[in-house]
Amino acid sequence: MKKSIVMLAALSAGCAAYAATPSVSNVTLAQDPATRLVTVTYDLADADAIITLDVLTNGTASVGDANLTVLSGDVNRLVSQGSGKKIVWRPDAALASYAANATAVISAWTESNPPNYMAVNLSITNDLRYYTSAEALPYGGLSNDCYRKDILLMRRIPAKGVTWWMGQRTNEKGGSEYKARETRHQVTLTNDYWIGVFEFTYGQWRRMTSYPDGYFTNMWYRETRPVEKVSYKMLRGTSTYENWPTSSEVTNTCIIGRLRTHSGIATLDLPTDAQWEYACRAGTAEGLYSGFDISNTGNDPQASLLARHYQNGGQGASGLESMCDPSHGTAKVGSYLPNAWGLYDMLGNVYEWCLDRCASDAAIGAEAVTEPLGATTGTYRIKRGGSWRGDCHFTRAAYRGANKATDVEHSIGFRLAARIPNAEEE
């Protein structure tokens, strides 16, 4: 039995003035020699906390997140205060001989500063799990299609207090026609937020309700493709979709309302226009989040590594697009390279609705703004990212399109986001 290291992972200056700081004590680690199972116990006081576990061998070397995916008990979730909290770890056979002399590292995170990934179980209500990295995900990680069908996986985006440049750079290839809607300006965001690792899929929609009347009907492949033919009005509710930005209210029966009720995440919604672009860029300034600009507005080789567009598979075969497999039309989500924050298909596959209202030309000003929410009037809504139906000049981080909120298009889908409350809001 060995006492662990305790880490308070979510402390920041001034945090204690707004909410109690969780404290962890009396941590032990023991291994059953017969089953090789490792049991970690601890006490949690002063505040509920999200708990994660690391295990060190020789006191310093982590076994790595990929070796800590088979965990159960009071871990990877919000844990209530109390004594005798318990985690059970089943180590891989190769690590079993090290476990008896290992050191457990318990990290306690506040809800205002959570780990990097949140997994929303779409089959069980209020079942949220948290992980420090993609390597820590159970069930084999992102290669398992459960994260495309049964679980809504979201990535924390570090945005609070960050000032960055939104819009196209001077002489950006592919952007000459769209300068008014891609005017470069500074934006500051006030909160970190969650955003979907993948575009929302048919499979995920079906877990919440019946299939939507989408374009792609091949049942062999449909579940892992992004949902499309969903209007902004359909997503946010017939009687409430017009409310933004005055109110974030949605109806309980629309898909976002159903997801809020199911998950308990009150801020779950579409991303704002600024949130979308900041997450897409992941710290880059170029047209593509790989750090390149496109060199060909039709079929660009760099864009083809990141995005499904018309020239690299989007175009259908013999007019049978709706029945095609994912080698044409939309691709299975996650088929192309992610950005630096591990987000897939931010460019291409389907356009993604954003919350913001806009004029039909989607023009935007050059003044610096903080936490922009879009215009207060207008029948159009922003769409982002390009799609399988368009060429590469649309698959740029700066490109801003617009459609009426009632439009149903087979090239427009969505990705979910959720604002993370700051410490003073807890």
Residue 360 banded pLDDT, cuts 50, 70, 90: confident
Q: How large is the average pLDDT for residues 161-177?
A: 93
pLDDT, residue 18, reads 57
Strands of the 38-45 sheet, one edge to the other: 2-3, 23-31, 38-45, 82-89, 71-73
Q: Is residue 125 part of a domain?
A: no
Q: Is residue 137 part of a domain?
A: no
98 and 206 assigned to the same domain: no
Note the maximum CA span of the chain.
69
Contacts of 61 (CB under 8 A, 6+ apart): none
Is the pLDDT at 253 greater than 60? The verdict is: yes
Angstrom distance (rounded) from CA 112 to CA 421 = 5
Residue 361 banded pLDDT, cuts 50, 70, 90: confident
pLDDT, residue 349, reads 97
Top-confidence residue, 189 or 101 = 189
Contacts of 380 (CB under 8 A, 6+ apart): 357, 358, 359, 360, 362, 402, 403, 404, 405
Distances from the Cα of 299 to the Cαs of 7, 291, 319, 390, in angstroms?
Answer: 49, 18, 21, 10
CATH of the domain at 259: 3.90.1580.10
How many structural domains are present in the chain?
Answer: 2
Kindly state the tokens that stand for 382: 């922003």
The answer to whether 362 touches 401, Cβ cutoff 8 Å, is yes
20 and 93 assigned to the same domain: yes
Print the domain residue range for 17: 2-109
368-409 per-position pLDDT tens digit: 999 999 999 889 999 999 999 999 999 999 999 999 999 999
Q: Is residue 238 part of a domain?
A: yes
The answer to whether 398 touches 277, Cβ cutoff 8 Å, is yes
pLDDT, residue 15, reads 41
pLDDT, residue 213, reads 84
Q: How large is the average pLDDT for residues 40-56?
A: 97
Q: How large is the average pLDDT for residues 303-318?
A: 87
* DSSP secondary structure of 6-37: EEETT--TTGGGTSPPPEEEEEEEEE-TTT--
Bridge partners of residue 2, in order along the sequence:
29
Q: Is residue 378 part of a domain?
A: yes
146-160 per-position pLDDT tens digit: 999 999 999 999 999
Angstrom distance (rounded) from CA 281 to CA 110 = 27
100 and 154 assigned to the same domain: no
- The four Cα atoms 88, 93, 99, 100 give a dihedral, to 10 degrees, of 100
State the sign of the Cα–Cα–Cα–Cα dihedral 287, 291, 296, 298: negative
- Single out the residue in 83, 109, 135 at which a domain terminates: 109
Angstrom distance (rounded) from CA 222 to CA 226 = 8
313 and 393 assigned to the same domain: yes
Is the pLDDT at 192 greater than 80? The verdict is: yes
Q: Is residue 124 part of a domain?
A: no
Least confident of 131-140, 193-202, 334-343, 361-370: 361-370
299 and 361 assigned to the same domain: yes
270 and 389 assigned to the same domain: yes
Structure pTM?
A: 0.94
pLDDT, residue 100, reads 63
pLDDT, residue 315, reads 83
CATH of the domain at 64: 2.60.40
Is the pLDDT at 4 greater than 60? The verdict is: no
Residue 363 banded pLDDT, cuts 50, 70, 90: confident
State the sign of the Cα–Cα–Cα–Cα dihedral 308, 313, 319, 324: negative
The answer to whether 270 touches 235, Cβ cutoff 8 Å, is yes
Top-confidence residue, 60 or 63 = 63
Query: Percent of the chain, pLDDT > 70?
Result: 93
Q: In 10 A of CB 247, how many CB atoms?
A: 9
Burial zone of 165 (CB within 10 Å; 0-12 exposed, 13-18 middle, 19+ buried): middle
The answer to whether 45 touches 71, Cβ cutoff 8 Å, is no
92 and 172 assigned to the same domain: no
68 and 153 assigned to the same domain: no
152 and 287 assigned to the same domain: yes
Q: How large is the average pLDDT for residues 23-42?
A: 94
Residue 3 banded pLDDT, cuts 50, 70, 90: very low
Residue-averaged pLDDT of the chain: 92
293 and 405 assigned to the same domain: yes
Angstrom distance (rounded) from CA 90 to CA 128 = 21
State the sign of the Cα–Cα–Cα–Cα dihedral 244, 245, 246, 247: positive
Q: How large is the average pLDDT for residues 207-233?
A: 92
- Single out the residue in 61, 87, 109 at which a domain terminates: 109
- Single out the residue in 86, 109, 132 at which a domain terminates: 109
Angstrom distance (rounded) from CA 153 to CA 144 = 12
41 and 176 assigned to the same domain: no
Is the pLDDT at 117 greater than 90? The verdict is: yes
Distances from the Cα of 192 to the Cαs of 115, 135, 163, 252, in angstroms?
Answer: 12, 22, 13, 25
Q: Is residue 314 part of a domain?
A: yes
The answer to whether 220 touches 237, Cβ cutoff 8 Å, is no
77 and 184 assigned to the same domain: no
Q: Is residue 117 part of a domain?
A: no
Q: Is residue 258 part of a domain?
A: yes
State the sign of the Cα–Cα–Cα–Cα dihedral 289, 293, 297, 300: negative
Residue 103 banded pLDDT, cuts 50, 70, 90: very high
HSE at residue 222, side-chain half, CA atoms within 13 A, is 19
